[in-house]
Amino acid sequence: MKKLIDNFDLKQIAESGQCFRWKLISENDNEQTYMIPAFGRALYVSQKGNEFDFSCSEEEWESIWKSYFDIDRDYAKLGEKILASDDEHLKECYALGSGIRILKQDLWEMVFSFMVSQNNKIARISATIEKVCEACGKPAIADNTESRNYFVSDNDNNFKEDNKSRGDNESGNNKSRGDNESGNDKSRNDNKSCNYDKSSDDKKCFPVHRFPNWDEIPEEIFDDRSFGFGYRNDYLRKICQELCIDPEWLEKLRKMSYEDAMKALLAKKGIGVKVANCISLFGLSHIGAFPVDTHIKQLLEKYYPNGLDLSRYEGEAGIIQQYLFYYELKHK
């Protein structure tokens, strides 16, 4: 399915720190392709300028991906506000990252992922999240085509050559988890056909897994140091336990105002102000949320010693935060 979309750049979004599971499939000077797992699906998207090719049907686009990519928001209008301002640094940030959009992601995935993100680096966060998905997540659906349910790794540094040995060895007893949770471990580990070229020895195909629900993550995982949870393990174990008792908590959270959602999130152990704002922005679509981490704190001190005036961007502060954050990441 092909579409023309402005103010939309896959690479900028992938590198903006708001999503941890996008996989770059291929890239050249004019075109790039990503595999995007979300809501139990696996979407393949190719971009060339403002031309996009999505691997989904029009029906699936309307029901899932249009909202996920925040297509109905007028990012061009926000850009006009920025360019009409006297904020030269923000103009520079916008010029660099004008293709960033705020993804409307799965709330539970955001709660878990940003709890993992505390005092952590993006690469390590992504590795931990992917390992949890491989250990506990069922196979994702990719355009109803089983052979497309794979992504290609251009290097093998983070994965073992044999999918089955990877699953068995990394967590000590992954095979039994797969048997219990998916009913058929073979379907998760077999190397089936892949639509992408496997002729090169340095390209490997791996299955795409869904992000597991809280009740699909066994407690012993939080004691396995190879997952990289660190001191966050008890917080993550507790949030899973609490959701098993009160699974409606997430739905209640969705119905709250930004202020009430922040209070509810901050009441949970392991969730501070920054993490709560990230969950609010990327999981609850409170676009006025403005997460402040070390990067943002430093840039505010450097470029805005008298304070950053966000009054002209009321209800859109989270997008401004992303432009600023992306600029900092690219200039480190």
What pLDDT is recorded for position 205? Answer: 52
Q: What is the mean pLDDT of residues 25-48?
A: 94
The pLDDT tens digits for 154-182 are 433 332 323 333 233 333 333 333 333 33
Span 223-281, pLDDT tens digits: 999 999 999 999 999 999 999 999 999 999 999 999 999 999 999 999 999 999 999 99
The domain limits of the chain are 2-330
CATH of domain 2-330: 1.10.340.30
> What per-residue confidence (pLDDT) applies to 143?
62
Q: What's the mean pLDDT when you consider all of the chain?
A: 84
Structure tokens at 106: 């799965």
Cα(212)–Cα(259) distance, rounded to whole angstroms? 28
Averaged pLDDT, 302-324 = 96
Helices of type H across 207-246: 233-245
Which residue is it, tokens 């002209």?
312
118-144 average pLDDT score: 88
| pLDDT value, residue 312 | 94
Q: Which pLDDT value is given to residue 140? A: 84
Do the Cβ atoms of 148 and 320 come closer than 8 Å?
no
pLDDT band at 138 (very low <50, low <70, confident <90, very high): confident
Burial 126-152 (b: 16+ CB within 10 A, else e): bebbbbbbbbbbbbbbbbeeeebbbbb
